[in-house]
Amino acid sequence: MKYIDEFRDRTIVKGLMAEIGALAKLKTNLMEVCGTHTMAIFRSGIKQLLPAKINLISGPGCPVCVTAQADIDRMLTLAKLPGVIITTFGDMLKVPGTQSSLEKERAAGCDIRVVYSPLDALEIARQERSREVIFLAVGFETTAPAIASVTSDARAGRIKNFSVYCCHKLIPPAMAALLEAKEIRIHGFICPGHVSTIIGTRPYALIAEEFRIPCVVSGFEPTDILESIRMLLQQIRQKRADAEIQYRRAVRPEGNLSAQQALSDVFMPSDADWRGLGVIPKSGLKLREQYQAHDAEIKFDIKVEESFEAKQCLCGQVLRGVKNPSQCRLFATVCTPEQPYGPCMVSTEGTCAAWYKYHR
């Protein structure tokens, strides 16, 4: 298949592996910070192909997984409000809160609807004028511009019964937080392709310059990932720390300027609570003052008394790369995709889900 098979060609893979083998002289930890990369790495067997000195670590690249427990509990509180319709992407349904999940609350009678676009949520608000429609905005820079556009449309169209519960996160501040914590030694980052189509490479360049850590924006096919690993090893060998693009067919250094403007018009940076990483300054997005009429957190003033995660669940440590799923007592025994104890097993981009499906 044109434009697919080319990126899975065995001859190209063998050539890249030979180059990686020649460069792999020292123990090297490379972290991917994208859940789609995590799944692609496991699905393609890349971990098994690489020399023993190259260690791939999965980071906080799953937006569902990094959503804080308190935010999950606030979503559940919103779902129980009378007259409210909750709209969400499907991967949020099974994420366990402290006492329940959206899936369980829907079974109990709450009106929780899966949508495939925030435009669907806005259309529901147009059709259900007598009810409050709340969209659960969970995602990184990739999905945030669409939420910004829909929120702007709601304001312009005076659709007052539409609001957003915003849990958007920004990837570069989390990368910096991991490096500052120094829990593990990271020698290079495989940077997310989808996010980078929006933000470009400047945020990674700042990280590379400050921490002297190479960064390469990668595509998602096997040859993309292997070429990105080779590029990182070349930087390390040459003692460089730059932000480079492997995924040139989709990513430009400047990113998508129109999407960046849409984000800036509707959102502003804010401190955000990440599962496993805690509160990271300026790592989230919140609606600007002129859009606060569509901010569910302000509109409904919800409170959650106490939030806590399942005992023995290591999801937070897995997200930091400190532990891998097989080190968790719950993994693949009591914690499975059908009965998840933590969000890393729920999402199709979660590290535990990847280990369960491809690496048990």
pLDDT at 8: 79
54: nearest Cα among 20, 21, 31, 28: 28
Query: Which band of pLDDT confidence, cut at 50, 70 and 90, is reported for residue 2?
Result: low
* CATH 3.60.150.10 applies to domain 1-309: no
pTM, 2 dp: 0.94
Q: What is the DSSP string of 211-277?
A: H---EEE--SSHHHHHHHHHHHHHHHHTT---EEES-TTT--TT--HHHHHHHHHHEEEEEEEETTT
Region(s) of the chain under CATH 3.40.50.11740? 1-309
Residue 179 pLDDT > 50, yes or no? yes
> Bridge-partner residues for 58, per DSSP?
32
| Residue 348 reports pLDDT greater than 50 | yes
Can you list the alpha helix ranges (DSSP code H) found in the chain? 10-23, 35-44, 46-49, 63-66, 69-79, 102-107, 118-127, 144-156, 171-181, 193-199, 202-211, 222-237, 257-266, 296-300, 315-319, 343-346, 351-358
Average pLDDT score over residue span 340-344: 93
pLDDT, tens digit (0-9, with 9 covering 90-100), for 115-156: 999 999 999 999 999 999 999 999 999 999 999 999 999 999
pLDDT of residue 1: 46
Question: Average of pLDDT values for 292-312?
Answer: 89
pLDDT band at 3; cut points 50, 70, 90: low
Q: What is the mean pLDDT of residues 42-63?
A: 95
355 pLDDT band, cuts 50/70/90, is very high
pLDDT of 264 over the 90 cut: yes
Residue percentage of the chain with pLDDT more than 90:
91
* Tens digits of residue pLDDT in 71-99: 999 999 999 999 999 999 999 999 999 99
Confidence at residue 138, expressed as pLDDT on a 0 to 100 scale: 97
